[in-house]
Amino acid sequence: MKNASLTVVHAGSKRTLIEISKIDGSLPIAGDPAQAALKIDSVSAFGNELAHNLAAQLDWTYPLLSLKPLETEIGGHKFVLAGRIASFSGLPIQIDAQLPRQALAAVRLPFDGQATAEAIAANARFRGLLLAPGTWQGDLVAESVSPSIRVGSRETKFDRGSAELLRMQHGGCHAIDGCKGPQPFAGASFKYLAASTVDERTGRTLFPPYHVKHFEGIAVAFIGLTLKDTPTIVVPSVTHPFTIA
């Protein structure tokens, strides 16, 4: 096989979803178990190149020809590509793309603040059957895990008061500056957590104390903690009536 390519196209819009181009290698497709090297020029998703000049390993053990998990790095994050074709009627194919669960660097927020995302993970899988020479038809299923964001330190603008923090989470116009865009601010698209910021009047936390995510069927709780020294680095009045432990 030389200069081959594999493209996943949306059946309705004909839009290219995933493209693996210029695949070179020797494919073992019969006989005893065997392995072979495979070179991939580039891997793209939605028109954006994710990786290039990759070396992969093929494994043939009847009835499966498998692309061993290929690990690379995209934008500083780990990325894994794998696949398999079965030597059955219809040549069923499966392609897996995975962004393993991993920590994220600090991300910019739309309200001129900064927060830390705990983690992110994403998975995509295509399964299909050969309906015409070189053409498989099937389903592409994608799953993503949104990051949880923790409130903490001056970076999240606690020095503007709890009312402004609530506006950042839930949206609305600024109390003094009003709305500067065509639409009111819709609020953050992620969850603020603040287990250690408690309203002295009600005994309730400013934001939910924790958030539960499920990874491969395992429940994982993220707990949000505010920097305990916050009251010493902001004007005391802006933290009233909250206690930060």
pLDDT of residue 240: 78
Per-residue confidence (pLDDT) for residue 111, from 0 to 100: 43
**Element of type H or E holding 4:** strand 4-9
Provide the pLDDT for residue 106: 55
Are 21 and 5 contacting, i.e. CB atoms less than 8 angstroms apart? yes
Q: Is the peptide bond before 182 cis (omega within 30 degrees of 0)?
A: no
The DSSP annotation for 138-204 comes to EEEEEEEEPPPEE--TGGGTGGG-HHHHHHHHH---BTTTB--SSS-----SS-EE-TTEEETTT--
5-36 pLDDT, tens per residue? 888 888 778 888 888 898 888 766 677 888 88
This prediction has a pTM of 0.52
Terminal CA-CA length for the chain: 64
Distance (Å, rounded) from C-alpha 224 to C-alpha 234? Answer: 20
- What pLDDT, on the 0 to 100 scale, is given for residue 92? 92
The alpha carbon dihedral of 162, 164, 168, 169 has a sign of positive
Q: Phi and psi dihedrals of 234, rounded to 5?
A: -130, 165
pLDDT in tens, the chain (245 residues): 778 888 888 877 888 888 889 888 876 667 788 888 889 898 887 788 878 888 888 888 888 889 899 888 876 778 888 999 998 888 899 989 888 877 766 554 444 444 455 567 778 888 889 888 878 888 878 766 555 555 544 344 565 677 878 888 888 887 777 787 777 788 877 788 888 888 888 899 988 999 888 876 778 888 888 777 777 767 777 777 888 87
Rounded CA gap, 154 and 240, in Å? 16
The radius of gyration computed from the CA coordinates of the chain, to the nearest angstrom, equals 25
pLDDT confidence of residue 191 = 81
E-only strand ranges, 33-106: 34-45, 48-61, 64-74, 77-86, 93-102
pLDDT at 114: 47
Q: Which of 212, 235, 48 shows the shortest CA–CA distance to 160? A: 235
Position 94 scores a pLDDT of 92
- 81/213 Cα distance (integer angstroms): 24
